[in-house]
Structure formats: structure tokens, C-alpha cells
Amino acid sequence: MSDVILLWDTPLLFEKLFLEYGLECTRTHSGSLGTPYLPACKILVVPTGFANRQYTKIGSGIESSGTRLERFVEKGGTLLIFSPLVPEYEYEWLPFTLKYVMEENPCTPRPVGEHDAQKLVEGVHPPVGCDGYFAETDAYVVLEDDKGRAIMVAKEIGKGLIVATTVHELPAEEFFKCRICGACKVKV
């Protein structure tokens, strides 16, 4: 069993961060999604650069696992997705519309209403690193950049939540504590 599963094919700083937060973390390749060997978890993290073949080869595995990822969220899991780091990207594997445009964009994030996903950047001092924006979405916009463009969105699916962001900072502990508290571990 694991609190967090990190989809990546080599060691990342995230793993050390999660240990510092007191969370059980497992790193796995996207090809393991849906296999009986993958432990249940509460949060599934897709790190920055997942669609860029210069950084990783997990993109195609994620893109072919849309149905599994949606079921994971429906059952109560949290899917946290960072930027793909390619010039333009359409998240066709998500159960909602989301289009990304890459643009180095340090900014001061502006909250749109109130949402627990905003805790992801809690305590991060502006300007924050931001590698793009969402040009189109039908999800709830959680944060905007200085130009009023979406840089974090959230969508509730069943009992769970999908959060996508272009903020390129280490995620705050409070977000994970909030999402893990009382959540069930779910198989992907």
C-alpha cells in the first residue's frame, strides 16, 4: 500500500519530498497502470515533462490509460497532473477538455474563488515558476496567471478529484495532507 504513486521511469526529487512529508511513495512506470502488482494509493502524481520524450517515456502509457485513470478518480482517488512540457498539448485521455500551451511565465498566481487545490502552492512565494497555461478547459479554474489565463484547474469525477497545473514548483505538504486525510486507497 502507498499514499502516493509517482508515474515516472527514473528517480525524482519528488520521492524525497514525499518522504519528508511522511508519506509512503511508490514510483512506477505508466505501463504498470492496471496491473495486479501496482499497490492501491490515494494520490497518483504525473510529474512535469510527462509528454516530452527528452525527459521520459511514460507519455504513451498515460495516454492509453485514460479509462483506468478515470475509474481511479471515480472511486475516490486524486490525480495530480503537472505540465507536459511540449509546445502544445491536448489531454485527450482526461474526461474533460484541457489544452495546454507552453510559455515560460513566472507569475503571481491569483486564486479564482476558493478550492482545496489552491493548497498545492500554499507557502510558495511569488513569482512562481510557470511553464505555460491552459488555453481551453471546461474544468473549474482554480488559479490564473497575471494575464488572467488558467494555470490550475480542478474537476471532481465521482468521489475523487483531478487537478492539473502548469505551476513548476514543488507542491506544498498541505495539499497532500488534505487529500489523504480520510481518503480510501484505490487500485489504479
pLDDT tens digits, one per residue of 35-85: 888 899 999 999 999 999 999 999 999 999 999 999 999 999 999 999 999
Residue 34: pLDDT band by 50, 70, 90 thresholds?
Answer: confident
Domain boundaries of the chain, sorted by first residue: 4-180
* 3-state class (DSSP) for residue 6: strand
Tell me, what's the pLDDT at 56?
A: 93
- The pLDDT value given to residue 106: 93
The per-residue pLDDT for 92 is 97
pLDDT score recorded for residue 84: 97
- At residue 2, the pLDDT reads 87
Span 4-180 CATH architecture: 3-Layer(aba) Sandwich (3.40)
Residue 90: band (very low, low, confident or very high) from pLDDT cuts 50, 70, 90: very high
Q: What local confidence, expressed as pLDDT, does residue 187 receive?
A: 87
Interval 116-175: pLDDT, tens: 999 999 988 899 999 999 999 999 999 999 999 999 999 999 999 999 999 989 899 999
Cβ atoms within 10 A of the Cβ of 19, count?
A: 11
Query: Is the separation of the CB atoms in 102 and 132 below 8 Å?
Result: yes
Rounded to whole angstroms, how far apart are CA atoms 185 and 40?
A: 5
The confidence score (pLDDT) of residue 37 equals 85
Query: What pTM, to 2 d.p., does this model score?
Result: 0.96
Q: Check residue 183 and give its pLDDT.
A: 74
Q: Is 44 helix (H, G, I), strand (E, B) or coil?
A: strand
DSSP letters spanning 44-88? EEE-TTTT-TTT-S-HHHHHTTHHHHHHHHHTT-EEEE----SSE
